[in-house]
Structure 1
Amino acid sequence: MPQAVKTRINFETGYAETEGGTPLVRVGDRLLPQRITVVVPCRAGQPRITARLEVLDGIPQCRELSFASLENGREIKQLDLRDISIADLVERTFALFSQRVILEESDHMVAVQDFGSGARAEAARIIGQARKGKGARKITPAFLAEVAKVYREHGEKNPTQAVQRAFDVSPRMAGNYIRKARDLELLPEVTDGRRKR
């Protein structure tokens, strides 16, 4: 019976690995492992950091992050939390394992793993775009009707923030959605911060 083989990539401060048999999933023009474990071992008394990264619904994400002190190591401090950039961790780690699809036909697909800092930077950029949802959300009249509904439901208290939370976007993008909904007359115009009746 064939053994399931882990794939491990070492980097300066630790390693990332996939379990044997981890399926590959498509994200843009890349194939990524569905799950990756990242380990930054304890060094010089520093806490050990472990992260579980997964691709869910086409979006690479950090699903678990833990810190652990060694028996004789120092405690976990606020600076340990500040030193971790989740976006950077997810994008760079998945970029290490990414394979670029170069041919796709009905019955098969060919992908290659590009090497070098430029190739990894491009892979990280594509993964970052997938995480931000760029190009994934189509701004249709039906979508803008949903935006208008959320806005109206929270019209008396921070409607723009409600749109931001409901669609998981930046304040600027929420404002853009609201403006487009107004352009379609799904919401009333505003003057000096007050809605026209």
Structure 2
Amino acid sequence: MTVTIDVDPDDEAITRLRNGYKPAPGESVIEQVPLGDGEYWVPRRFDLISTGSSTTPGWRMAVVVRHGIPLCQRITIESSEQEVRSVDLRALRVEEMLELATRYVAVPVERDASGRVRARPLALADVRAGVTLPAVRAARRRARSRITPSILSEVADVYRQHDGRSPTRAVQQHFGLVSERTARFWVKRSRDAGFLGKSLPGKGGEQQP
């Protein structure tokens, strides 16, 4: 089994390259965003890919970073040798794989006198030793324990955009939440905070003032 990381390039940068733009030495075509408190930056979107083996299926995990938090947005699993079984699904350690992938793509940054963010070199040996792991785990703890007002506001926006079309599931998919039950809790928190109106009796949705 081989595990690799695939990073999505910045769409705007790709367009510029196709139009003849030549990047400066060291310039990245990957859209980078802060991880957690901003000590490290990571690609906004990347995939973790396992090729599988003759006895285990392969899988692909899509990761998106929102509000500084890396979230598993989607997992696909397939096997060319045998059927995918329940035991294969139970073997997927989502949080562990997410941490593994993020620690390898995290880049330490510093700001120069003008305020521009610049990446600092980081040896692969340091990555393997786990120097980026505390920052990754700190960011992931925010996903489990801290739902900020800005997130609750975004929950309301996503819910309204999909009102009448499985809005709770849309919230789950948008934020990469593990279950629809968690998404319902986030929607409730958004209502309690006043970002989303009260639900219609027995129907969900949102009461209009």
TM-score by shorter chain over 0.5:
yes
CA distance in structure 1 between the partners assigned to 2:76 and 2:32 by the alignment: 25
**Richer in strand (by share):** 1
Q: Is the Cα–Cα contact under 8 Å of residues 39 and 51 in structure 1 kept in the other structure? A: yes
Matched, 1:14 2:3: yes
Compute the displacement of 1:168 (Å).
8.0
For residue 121 of structure 1, the aligned residue among 133, 157, 175 is 133
User: What is the one-letter code of the residue matched to 1:68?
Assistant: E
User: What is the one-letter code of the residue matched to 1:122?
Assistant: P
Q: TM-score scaled to structure 1, two decimals?
A: 0.56
Compute the displacement of 1:65 (Å).
0.4
Percent of matched pairs sharing the same residue: 18
CA distance in structure 1 between the partners assigned to 2:76 and 2:47 by the alignment: 11
CA distance in structure 2 between the partners assigned to 1:78 and 1:105 by the alignment: 55
Give the unaligned 5+ runs of structure 2: 10-28, 150-180, 190-209
Comparing both chains, which one has the higher relative contact order based on Cα–Cα distances under 8 Å and sequence gaps of 6 or more? 2
Find runs of 4+ consecutive structure 1 residues off by over 4 angstroms: 162-165
CA distance in structure 2 between the partners assigned to 1:163 and 1:42 by the alignment: 30
Structure 2 match to 1:57: 67
Compute the displacement of 1:77 (Å).
0.8
Compute the displacement of 1:63 (Å).
1.1
Structure 1 residue matching 2:92: 3-state secondary structure: coil
Give the unaligned 5+ runs of structure 1: 1-11, 139-161, 175-197
In terms of Rg, which structure is larger?
1
Over the residues paired in the alignment, what is the CA RMSD in angstroms?
3.2
Q: 1:48 to 1:60 in 2, by over 3 A?
A: same
Q: 1:123 to 1:57 in 2, by over 3 A?
A: closer
Q: TM-score scaled to structure 2, two decimals?
A: 0.53
Alignment: residue pair count: 135
CA distance in structure 2 between the partners assigned to 1:163 and 1:84 by the alignment: 19
Correspondences of 1:40-79 after superposition (within 5 Å): 40-70=50-80, 73-79=81-87
Q: Is the Cα–Cα contact under 8 Å of residues 68 and 139 in structure 2 kept in the other structure? A: no
Matched, 1:31 2:41: yes
